[in-house]
Structures are given as C-alpha cells and as structure tokens.
Amino acid sequence: MCGRVALKHYKWDRQPDFLPRSCITHFDLQGIDWRFNVAPTLTIPILRTTAEGTEAIGARWWLVPRAITDIKSWKYSTFLARTEEMESKRTFAEPWERGQRCVIPVAAAYEWNREQEPSQPYAITRRDETWMLLGGLWEEGPTGVSCAMLTMKSNDLFRPIHNRMPLAFSDEDTALAWLNPDVAPEEARAMMRSWDPSPYQAYPVSRFVSSTKNEGAECMEPLRESTNQVDYGPLFDMPAL
C-alpha cells in the first residue's frame, strides 16, 4: 500500500489548486502524468521547500539515491517508505536527515482488498473532492527529482481493506509545517499521526483500474450494480490515517 493513485477526479471540471497560490513560489508541472490510473515510475506532482521557496514540480514516483547516475541500474523497490523503517534504510534515511520532506497531492489513492475473491479495488478520496495531501520524501541527483510515499500501519477501521495506509495531512497548515526544512527530524516524526477521518471516504471501484494499461474516469467512478457486478455494499468512511 499504496501502489496506485489518481491525479484527476471524475467530478472535476478543472483541477483545484494544491494549496493557496500564495504559498507556492514556483510551478513547473511539465511532464506530469495527469491520469486516473497512475503507477510507480510515472511522474507525479510534489510540493517541496528549498532555499528558493516552496515549489510545485514533477517527480518520478520511485526514489533514486543521488549517487545513482544510471536509472536503469537502480533495481530496488523504493516508491514506498515505511515510517517505522525509513531511518534504518540508507536510501530513505539520508533524505530524511537532510529534511527533504515533500507533500504528494493526489485526487485519490487506490487499494485492493485481497481477502475478497477476486480482489476488490477501492478508491480513497476526500468527500469535498479536493486534493489529498500525502507525506513523502524527495531526492535529486543525476537522474532527476524522485520521491517515495510514506506509509504507516493501518488502524482498526482501515484494516478491512489493507494493513498499511499512507501518511496524510488533515489540513494545509500541517502540510506546510511538514514541508518546512527548519523542522528537525524529531519534530517531523511527531507529525506522523492519525487525522480526522470524517472528511474521507473509501468506496469500491471497477476492476478496470487493476491494469496499468487502462485509463479513464471508469477507474475512479463508484462501482455500480449490474447483472455482471457484485454489490460490495455502501460507501464507508475512510478511517484516520
């Protein structure tokens, strides 16, 4: 968890801003894969703060250490980082210690309930249809900017879908505090906590999303009953992340 996200919402006429524009000093969103079905290694938006200010840029969703010069030589799975282990793994520990934290805005995160047969995908979104703000780490080197999404152990409410969930922030102020490079690692670690679940929902979607080759609003639209589909029950609240 989480191995797929959406960067578009099937209800959006136009994409809302990630954060108030006054908070972001620079935008460079060229090359981002604005899709309903985004898999690791594709380019996703991140928010990060550097000496120049807070910027919104594209990053490869698969963190590559700055010492690597040939991206094809990096064979390790580093698109997710466990909050419990990141300080003990050099690939993640170095950007963490340097304060290279980022926020990853997504329209939805997908997860599969493997206990259902066949496995059933769910979309996790905000009820107000704004961006979810997920926590991550970024790195930059000869291969460009890359990132990893942070995950943590699931709580009792989320466990029926999966035993892991992404680190996420309940509001923009918390997200901006996470981005502040002057916040020490021990202070940032204290920010890895649950949030209010009431603004969130999780609902079953079509297995169409299960193939990375498929794209379109069908990936994210709520699953509808038909003669060829199973009723997986009503929408249910997303638990605290």
What is the pLDDT, as a whole number, of residue 66?
Answer: 96
Total-model pTM: 0.90
Summarize pLDDT for 166-210 with one digit per residue, the tens: 898 888 999 999 999 889 988 999 998 866 777 888 899 999 999
Structural domains in the chain, sorted by start: 4-237 (3.90.1680.10)
**Of residues 233 and 197, more confidently modeled:** 197
Distances (CA, A) of 201 to 108, 150, 158, 162, 241: 10, 20, 11, 15, 12
Distance CA 24, CA 56 (A): 7
Using the structure block, give the residue that is written with the tokens 């994409």. Answer: 15
pLDDT above 90: residue 102: yes
Greater model confidence, 235 or 154:
154
Prior bond of 166 cis (ω within 30°): no
At 157 the pLDDT is 54
Burial class (CB in 10 A: 0-12, 13-18, 19+), 144: middle
Nearest C-alpha neighbor of 122 from the set 108, 134, 133:
108
